[in-house]
Structure 1
Amino acid sequence: MPQLENASIDSYLDDSYKGASLCGAVPSDASVRVVRALEDAGLEAWFVGGWVRDALLEAPSHDVDLCCSGTWRQSEDALLSAGVDVVRSGIRFGGITAIADGERIEVTAYRKDGFYTDGRHPEDVVMASSILDDLARRDFTINAMAWHPARGLLDMYNGVSDLSQGLVRAVGVARTRFEEDALRMLRAVRFACRLDFAMEAQTASALSECAHLLVSVARERVGIELSGILATRRGGDAMVRYPDLMCAAIPELQTCRGFDQCTRYHAFDVYDHIARVLTVAGELSAFRIDGGDPSCEVSPTLMWSALLHDIAKPDCFTVDEAGRGHFYGHPEAGAKKARVIMKRLGLCDNLVRDVCLLISYHDLPLYPERSSLLKGMSLFAGEGRDVPRLIGELFDLKRADTLGKATCCFSYVEEIERMREMVRELVANGDAYSIATLNLTGRDLIQAGVEPGPRIGQLLDRALDATIAGTAPNSKNDLLAYLRLA
């Protein structure tokens, strides 16, 4: 991390700043055009937020946010006069969106937030006269820096130092920041997971102390931030490091904490087992040797199912006469509970559907045999469902679940991988696992002399059972012959 010194706000604006860069990151021509348009109108503008942070980390960044000394109307007038289109995207908070050369650039007025009474939004937003006032209201030091092609970097809260040390630190008093806006707590965890940073000590302490305030935040916003945390592949770390906050986000996790599973197959309580499954699922999804792809985003279906796969275990717990714990029916009960949680968090219907399918069948006994695997695949068949993807993610979940147990279970991973390879071959060979993948249709049956009606469906079901059992190949003529219609 390069060490940069703060620039004076009053520095002379050099008109030749177009080629300037921050740690090698060059702002887009469109963003420079917007800055010029604002400053040609007598306003002051700075690059702020994620673009600055990512440039200092020498990481790619796509979104550009600018902060400007003018009101949103003044900024709008300046941009329109320069031929830049404007969308009034957030005028309540002093923001507009400039659209230059097809690029969307957020432009927000310097502001100071008023009092927070709902733990989420300020009662009013007051225009600030200085970029310093605007930076003072921001959440974390690594996000509270501003940069200008001519004036350089403005770092009033040692954000560069925290980037160098790998720390997420609240601006000012952490508890105050979280009491103002409780969602900032999940944002802190998301940044820590995304950047693989540690939480500064006082900020971490405030996360635990203020976790209960998360109840004031709309559940949909909580769902968005949790999805962001899971997308980093480090959701398991978040569970281990910030359990109070994660349980505040999903209260059903609280009963899992410290819940002894009373079985030799589990070395951890339910909560820690879930955290380890989430960690393993995330890590292995990034390694090609384990079937992952580091260049692709991790599957949200896999991550959410790993997080919620055992959510109903405490509800289903029984102990036999020998003192062994059992959780009969927990996959089905977990799917129902997961549906309630995910709907509450405002997650999309298709994601909820697929996650609940994986949870329902994550404990399903499967064997490295053709008929067993095809029957397993048939459980995932349905309109709009990507069965090969889902069965692959079922194996990912089973593998992570196995590696989150006691070491005596680890050998099952070899069988899981053998089954995964067999499924790939079955799909490549065109073996049927559903009516849709059967090489026989209702039209074929009608052409063979079957009257339209319920018997069509019955015959197709018989044909599917036959090809899954290996009694008949998945071809039209062989299936018609099996049904004695050829």
Structure 2
Amino acid sequence: MTLPQEIISILKNLEDSGFEAYAVGGCVRDLSLDKKPKDWDITTNAKPEQIQELFPEHFYENSFGTVTVKTEAEDPSLREIQITPYRVEGKYTDKRHPEEVEFVTKLEDDLSRRDFTVNAMAINKAGEIKDAFGGKEDLKNKLIRTVGKPEERFGEDALRILRAARFAAVLGFDINTATSRAMKENSEWLRAISKERIRDEFIKIINSENAYHGILLLEDLGLLEYITPELRQGINVGQNLHHIYTVWEHNLLALKYATEKNYSLEIRLASLFHDIGKPQTKNGDGKYSTFYGHDIVGAKITAKLMERLKFSKDITEKVVRLVRYHLFYYNVGEVTESSVRRLLVNVGPENIEDLIKVREADRIGSGRPKAVPYKLRHLKYLIDKVSNDPISAKMLKVNGQDIMKELGISPSPKIGLILSCLLAEVLDDPTKNKKEELIIRIHDLDKSTPEDLKNSLDKIQKAIEAEEKERMKKYYV
């Protein structure tokens, strides 16, 4: 197992100065899984002041003894390396932070305080792994297990309960029986954790390839109610003749599709939350039940839960908008260009493609065979059509007022003919659409006969037909 040169150099510097030094934690786990580490941590028996002496390019602004050393690596993950002395931690009375930190001399003592066995391995510059708690075996068996007693590890930092679920989801691992039992029994400890920290773990699950199974795991372990209890209200809520799944199943299957398509975080969240308002708006039962206004109610619920979890304003506004307008109408022959323009205004042109992706997820999550049926392709065609300026004289850098001013004439059909002729020339060569050049052409065209000017209309009509033909080819096969 080969380490990056920057890490080898730091480890060597520490060892040459008489200290022990190892890369530790998640980077060793990732290396063992043949994955590229996102960041690197080093542990050593050197004290913070000794580390600072060895590495002049550093900063040290914490109470845990961690010194961040700067490198000149091209790889962003190697530009700042955190070096922390071997340490053990005191009591966690708030289930978040240790009351005190004590530096120790043995690597095994440091590894014993870590959360899970797969994160409690260390590697030296020669590539030799120190594994005191069976991390390698658990990686081989695809198992998440705490270091020592689960209750003690979770009691030190309750976020570890959620981290265990996140690692299982992201890595596709199972959770050790004793560990999962302790997670269920102590799930209420998550109430002591800040919403920001919970949100970050939730995002990592949603952004993973196994987001669908991750949400199911959160529910199975009794953790989802501490993150998005609103989502749970759809459990066992039947729908109507348009759906074969419950609201809960449908929302999760929509997320599954968005994940399989590798869509953005916002689309994944909107797909998961798009029908979150249905339980509150359900009227009747069986195949003729209705959910009128669930899009509006769902948008309000989504806004509140995302605000509670401290999502950024930009992400919240986008997801709420996608949820609010996910029910857009698109029946061929009934949807009009004006209704499409209203949709663009409501959603924002920059969000329309993402809205269609949420609708795709909605369809597949309903058990439909096609994500993009003919009706949706027709809508895309209309959106393209109304989003682009039509071929008209408005494209020109001059207008009728300019022609009347230059030629000293009053309003007349001739002005329209000159504009049409200019437009035909610009369609042939867009570089000619400059006010100075067009004014010169206005004077030239003033000498032409009406018949000559009318010939340009045929050219414009052919251009319009060609543009429409290309648009049709794009959306209709």
Please indicate, yes or no, whether the TM-score normalized by the shorter chain is above 0.5: yes
Specify which of 355, 363, 387 is matched with residue 402 of structure 1: 363
Cα contact 1:31–1:100 (8 A) shared by 2: no
Alpha-carbon distance in 1 for matches of 2:392, 2:137: 62
Q: Distance in 2 between matches of 1:207 and 1:177?
A: 11
Task: Report deviation, 1:197.
Answer: 1.5
Paired residues of 2:239 and 2:245 also in contact (CA < 8 A): no
Matched, 1:252 2:223: no
Point out the more displaced range, 103-112 or 119-128. 119-128
Measured in 2, the distance between the counterparts of 1:436 and 1:184 equals 57
> Where do 1:46-445 residues align within 5 Å?
46-80=22-56, 85-89=57-61, 91-102=62-73, 103-150=79-126, 152-243=128-219, 244-258=222-236, 260-285=237-262, 298-319=263-284, 324-367=288-331, 372=336, 375-376=339-340, 379-381=343-345, 387=350, 390-405=351-366, 407=367, 409-410=368-369, 413-415=372-374, 418-419=377-378, 422=381, 427=384, 431-433=385-387, 440=394
- In structure 2, C-alpha distance between the alignment counterparts of 1:218 and 1:224, rounded to whole Å: 10
Deviations 1:458-482 (A, max 9, x none): xxxxxxxxxxxxxxxxx9999xxxx
Deviations 1:417-440 (A, max 9, x none): 6347637xx64xxx4438999995
Aligned length: 403
Shift of 1:370: 11
Please give the alpha-carbon distance, in whole angstroms, between the structure 2 residues aligned to 1:313 and 1:381. Answer: 25
TM-score (norm: length of structure 1): 0.74
Aligned counterparts of 1:276 and 1:342: Cα–Cα separation in 2: 21
* Cα offsets for 1:285-344 (capped at 9, x unmatched): 3xxxxxxxxxxxx40111111222122222212117x77322111111211221221122
- Matches of 2:21 and 2:390 in 1, distance apart? 58
- Report if the CA contact (8 A) 1:273-1:404 is conserved: yes
Tell me which protein shows more helix as a share of its residues.
2
3-state secondary structure, aligned to 2:233: helix
Task: Specify the code of the residue in structure 2 equivalent to 1:246.
Answer: L
- Tell me how far apart the structure 2 counterparts of residues 442 and 329 of structure 1 sit (CA, whole Å): 45
RMSD: 3.4
User: CA separation of 1:261/1:111 partners in 2, compared to 1, >3 Å: closer, same or farther?
Assistant: same
Shifted more, 193-202 versus 436-445: the winner is 436-445
Instruction: Identify the residue that residue 472 of structure 2 maps to in structure 1.
Output: none
CA–CA distance in 1 between the matches of 2:393 and 2:226?
51
| Residues 100 and 373 of structure 1: CA distance in aligned 2, closer, same or farther (over 3 Å) | farther
How far apart, CA to CA, are the structure 1 residues paired with 2:185 and 2:396? 63
CA distance in 2, matches of 1:339, 1:52: 39
Runs ≥4 in structure 1, deviation > 6 angstroms?
434-439, 441-446, 475-478
Mark the CA change 1:380 to 1:171 in structure 2 (over 3 Å): closer, same or farther. farther
- Letter of the 2:387 counterpart: Y
TM-score normalised by structure 2 residue count: 0.75
The alpha-carbon distance between structure 1 residues 264 and 135, as it changes in their structure 2 partners (threshold 3 A), is same
Greater mean alpha carbon deviation, residues 272-281 or residues 352-361: 272-281
Question: Match for residue 421 of structure 2?
Answer: none
Q: CA deviation at 1:213?
A: 1.6
Shift of 1:272: 2.4
Q: What fraction of aligned residue pairs are identical, expressed as a percent?
A: 29
Q: CA deviation at 1:156?
A: 1.2
Question: For each residue in 1:133-184, what CA deviation from the matched residue of structure 2 results, as whole angstroms up to 9, or x when unmatched?
Answer: 1111111111110000237111111111111111122222223222221211
Structure 1, unaligned runs of 5 or more? 1-21, 286-297, 450-474, 479-486
Report the more deviating stretch, 142-151 or 213-222: 142-151
**Counterpart amino acid of 1:422?**
Y
Deviation, 1:410, is 3.6
